[in-house]
Amino acid sequence: MKEEIKTYLKHIKDVCPELNDNELEKFSSELTVEKYNKNDFYITAGQTQTQGGFLISGLIRVFHTDELGNEKNIYFVPENDYTFHYASFMDNKPSPLSFQCLETSVVVNFPAFHLHKSYEEFPKFDRYGRLIVEQKLKQQQERLESFLFQSAEQRYLDFINQFPQLFNRISISQLCSYLGVERQTLTRIRQKLARSV
Amino acid sequence: MKEEIKTYLKHIKDVCPELNDNELEKFSSELTVEKYNKNDFYITAGQTQTQGGFLISGLIRVFHTDELGNEKNIYFVPENDYTFHYASFMDNKPSPLSFQCLETSVVVNFPAFHLHKSYEEFPKFDRYGRLIVEQKLKQQQERLESFLFQSAEQRYLDFINQFPQLFNRISISQLCSYLGVERQTLTRIRQKLARSV
DNA sequence: TTAATTTTGGCACAAATGTGTCAAGTAAAA
DNA sequence: TTTTACTTGACACATTTGTGCCAAAATTAA
């Protein structure tokens, strides 16, 4: 079995020990490992994902493109995280966002129907799903709340704290839209912080 | 069995028909129905919820209070929705947000441990949990994304569209912080929209 | 009913943010 | 190496948003 698949199965087992090795073994039969180069698109907006993916190594930016062609980053996918748009993937609808590799990336892919089948075949898979989605919900909730009652400066500081391993790999121009400000504003924030050190 | 509890069980069954009536019956044994008056607090920030609740009728605002005592609304809980802060409830941690009734409200309550017990006793409960959390995640995701790539004006229009039943029950001053703008700005948006009709 | 409170729209001014542009510096590609 | 592309900090200016205040209207409580 490929190393990447082992890593993925280990993640599942860590989250939900109730799943036994036999079930994981069966689940793994449909997994494939794929490598993407820097700047490759994992998903292009408008596309419906026929497969889901778990990022083993690399970094992916998830962005939205408006009518004028302006891009805004909504998420970054770090190592050991799922790389799909939950809402559209679960409903089998086109993704409103594009996924592009900022670095060479290795992904474990699985067909969407295989996930649904697993929910039916392996009762404890529902638990794994629940736990993962609960994690995601918490993250999402925190991020939303940070937009509602924190300043851009605080969000910037939080980002550095929360993703120290990403901070040096993402440029200012990529980061600013994730924080919800223009590049100029992020520059001002950094200047202000630098002065106050 | 009280009407409110029947309403709640019906909601569960609608979301997850795999749960049988016997299981629901057992689950219902720990449910209580409580009424709250307008302006009553369902949860005060800092409190750890020992029970979760499902709002049968009424309307609850969920808000954050900053160091200066300024309040900002983060969510509104409409009828037939859960009234707790997922992240803190699931981890049994103090809620960072306060829940206050904007209208007389009737809630079906259940002890937190009862939920966890149900996950162990009734295997299909995990599925119900997964489906609910998936729903929440989708809503949360949409809301976050609206902050990242939509204008306040668009968010206002979306709110009217998405919650027509709430629109007339929430004042401008309560709504503005939910949309992430000051009251004056929301007034300006409304003026602009009124002119363009 | 009257009195008290809350909500709303409006105004003026201050502060923050966005827009567009430029040049130096850095990194990547030929 | 040279060339190209991208990133960054800086500037000026326009626009948007926030703040504080007021008075009219609406709502709620006495």
In order along its 197 residues, chain B shows pLDDT tens digits of 899 999 999 999 999 999 999 999 999 999 999 999 999 999 999 999 999 999 999 999 999 998 888 899 999 999 999 999 998 999 999 999 999 999 999 999 999 999 999 999 998 999 999 999 999 999 999 999 999 989 999 999 999 999 988 988 999 999 999 999 999 999 999 999 987 76
Same domain, yes or no: A14 and A33: yes
Burial of A196 (0-12, 13-18, 19+ CB in 10 A): exposed
Report the C-alpha gap between B150 and B143 in whole angstroms.
10
Work out if B188's Cβ lies within 7 angstroms of strand D: yes
H-helix or E-strand spanning residue A98: strand A98-101
Print pLDDT tens along chain A (197 aa): 899 999 999 999 999 999 999 999 999 999 999 999 999 999 999 999 999 999 999 999 999 998 888 899 999 999 999 999 998 999 999 999 999 999 999 999 999 999 999 999 998 999 999 999 999 999 999 999 999 989 999 999 999 999 998 988 999 999 999 999 999 999 999 999 987 76
Mutual orientation of helices B125-149 and B152-162 as an angle, nearest 10°? 140
Same domain, yes or no: A91 and A104: yes
Contacts of residue B119 in chain A, CB cutoff 8 Å? 127
At A67 the pLDDT is 82
B165 touching chain A per CB within 8 A: no
Same domain, yes or no: A38 and A54: yes
Counted domains in chain A: 2
The alpha carbon torsion through A76, A36, B138, A133 (nearest 10 deg) reads -90
Q: Name the closest nucleotide to B175, judged by C1' and CA.
A: C7
Nearest-Cα distance to chain B for A181, in Å, is 9
> What residues of chain B, 11 to 50, have a C-beta less than 8 Å from chain A?
none
How many CB atoms neighbour CB B78 within 10 A?
15
Same domain, yes or no: B139 and B158: no
Same domain, yes or no: B54 and B94: yes
Question: Vertex B115, ends B112 and B121: CA angle to 5°?
Answer: 145
Report the C-alpha gap between B118 and B19 in whole angstroms.
11
Q: Name the residue range of residue A84's domain.
A: 3-149
Q: Name the closest nucleotide to B151, judged by C1' and CA.
A: D16
Q: Which residues of A69-103 are buried (b: 16+ CB within 10 A; e: fewer)?
A: eeebbbbbbbeebbbbbbbbbbeeeebbbbbbbbe
Q: How many helices (H) and strands (E) are present in chain B, helices listed first?
A: 9, 8
Output the distance from B59 CA to C27 C1' rounded to whole Å.
55
Chain A CA closest to residue B179: A148
Same domain, yes or no: A155 and A131: no
Work out if B185's Cβ lies within 7 angstroms of strand D: yes
Contacts of residue B65 in chain A, CB cutoff 8 Å? none
Tell me which of A131, A149, A167 is where a domain ends: A149
Same domain, yes or no: B37 and B116: yes
Report the C-alpha gap between A92 and A154 in whole angstroms.
36
Q: Is A45 helix (H, G, I), strand (E, B) or coil?
A: coil
Same domain, yes or no: A35 and A83: yes
Same domain, yes or no: B64 and B119: yes
Report the C-alpha gap between B86 and A190 in whole angstroms.
33
* DSSP letter assigned to residue B84: S
Work out if B150's Cβ lies within 7 angstroms of strand C: no
Same domain, yes or no: B192 and B120: no
Same domain, yes or no: A169 and A123: no
B90 touching chain A per CB within 8 A: yes
Report the C-alpha gap between A128 and A18 in whole angstroms.
9
Of A189, A145, A170, A149, the closest CA to residue A60 belongs to A170
| Beta strand residue intervals within chain B, DSSP E | 32-36, 41-43, 51-57, 60-65, 71-77, 81-82, 98-101, 105-111
Q: Do A89 and A48 touch, CB atoms closer than 8 A?
A: no
Nucleotides on chain D that have an atom closer than 7 A to a protein CB are 6-12, 17-21, 29
B126 touching chain A per CB within 8 A: yes
Of A88, A77, A25, the closest CA to residue A54 belongs to A77
A119 touching chain B per CB within 8 A: yes
Farthest CA pair distance, chain A? 59
Q: What is the pLDDT of residues A13-59, one digit of tens each?
A: 999 999 999 999 999 999 999 999 999 999 999 999 999 999 999 99
Strand pairing class (A60-65; A98-101) = antiparallel
At B102 the pLDDT is 95
Of A142, A39, A54, the closest CA to residue B74 belongs to A142
CATH of the domain at B100: 2.60.120.10
Same domain, yes or no: A141 and A158: no
